[in-house]
Structure 1
């Protein structure tokens, strides 16, 4: 087996020495080419090169969810093709690693490498669904290129939090869970549409759902982790189905206290619920429109402001070695 290893040198939970050990372990079991990313979007470019190559069987992403997202978007630049495209494997190296953990991989990169080598030896793989976004035809965002996401995307409040965290990281702050909590509070205090949202969800064959303040689209569950605690906005979301949507029509102080508590105590059996909650399961296609430009995030990456985004749940999109 010939594999391309895409290494993010800025991965927050792996040192240079640890990465060297992992590279040697992988190289002992496969014909490995290791490339260290040098700029934003480099992992996407490497994934694209692998997709266009005739002799790469596997692409391994060593990094966080952002690195995985870039590799996936490179691999699928021409669309899904299970028979032709290389498979994907992940060695978690970020602060959260939602995609890897949702696949059942250990969060420790050394243990995850051992699990990956076992999976390669046993020829274990899984075909997963993915989410796809694009600008909506007939709107100001129609020229926005399509982009894949592996575990979640969000328009509005949660994307605003992601944007704030990225700003802090650019100022030299370390990505920690306490940093995220602080930015959640700041985003809440600065949210101008807490009591009446600007987002409308439109789908074929159903009435639109309006006045959403929060719209989180999940391709799997959990939504994210707070330390080792998984949090479930859409407990039924699955890599085997379309995407799920969790929405809130109010973010008052009382609503935040209620649904925040439910989120912290959520489980695979039950997520946040109540009169201000919108929950949709196994969606193939829908559009989120906003009256004002709102931040968009995918897989924890802030992508700027949007007024209209169309989401598609694409089944059987990619082979993953697990």
Structure 2
């Protein structure tokens, strides 16, 4: 029996914008088989990737590679939290938030080749109401957009921005009570984003100063948003700048507690997760091993 480190590739066959690519053939061609043994498995239902990843970690695989978009990456990473098995990513989605933050190659062949020479690092993760996230989570407008975006056949940044500009006028801010850094704050909330990484995906930077290894969440609070502020915030997201103080406020913290009178939508890594009136957001330092370019 071979004693080479093992890699498991978990493929979401319906993920993202390039689902017709023969990933198995590209892995066979580009992976260095003198360094790794590998197998390839496919997901059949929501949550299946987490099960497959956890099973691989328990079986001693060195790396489990998520092949898909941000949702697939989130599922695989959830199965690897607090284990010795590292997450690899072959980006195949429309946003690819974690892959972009880690500066992984976005072209499939190059991403596979990067596994041959990559090194293992550790990153933070977060939870919102016990749901893990690795790039961002949030309540309010961005969660609403996530719910709408999920049902849209068109993907990509252009579609996302168009949705934001279309829906921003109709969405109303809500009052919330926030506890952050031991300070209680009663405020309006149009959107509150909790960023472990700097961007949502598509190089849209909601928290340009976020560091995925610093043990802190970067919180972006938008109290109220009109059309002019939406343009400013969108421009800053695309140019990796902090929005002006009239548009957004930023905090660094290890955790946030939010209470709302009316149920608010929330998301984790861009995936809509439902509604709640209370949110507990926590940061888990260096809780996930990842493969990054050497």
TM-score by length of 2: 0.90
Runs (5+) with no aligned partner, structure 1 = 135-145
Are residue 254 (structure 1) and residue 228 (structure 2) matched?
yes
Question: Offset of 1:209 from its aligned partner?
Answer: 4.7
CA deviations over 1:76-124 (Å, ceiling 9, x no partner) = 3xxx24xxx31111111111111011001111121111112121xxxx1
**Runs of 4+ more than 6 Å apart:** none
- The separation in 1 between residues aligned to 2:162 and 2:231, in whole angstroms, is 15
1:89-238 equivalence runs, <5 A: 89-119=88-118, 124-134=119-129, 146-168=130-152, 173-193=153-173, 197-225=174-202, 230-238=203-211
Instruction: Please tell me whether the aligned partners of residues 128 and 282 of structure 2 are also in contact (alpha carbons under 8 angstroms).
Output: yes
Compare the two structures and name the one with the higher strand fraction.
2
Count how many residue pairs are aligned between Structure 1 and Structure 2.
Answer: 285
Alignment pair present for 1:32 and 2:12: no
Quick check: 1:65 aligned with 2:65?
no
Query: What SS does structure 2 have at the residue aligned with 1:264?
Result: helix
| Residue 161 (structure 1) shift | 0.5
Per-residue deviation, 1:210: 1.8
1:141 match:
none
Unaligned runs of 5+ in 2: none
Please tell me the root mean square deviation across aligned C-alpha atoms, in Å: 1.9
How big is the shift at 1:16? Answer: 4.1
Per-residue deviation, residues 113-155 of structure 1 (Å, max 9, x unmatched): 1112121xxxx11111111222xxxxxxxxxxx2211100110
Partner Cα distance (2:106, 2:182) in 1: 41
- Deviation, 1:160, is 0.4
* Distance in 2 (alpha carbons) for counterparts of 1:158 and 1:217: 11
Identify the match of residue 254 of structure 2 among 275, 279, 284. 284
Aligned residue number for residue 246 of structure 2:
275
Residues 17, 178 of structure 1: alpha-carbon distance in 2 compared, 3 angstrom cutoff: closer
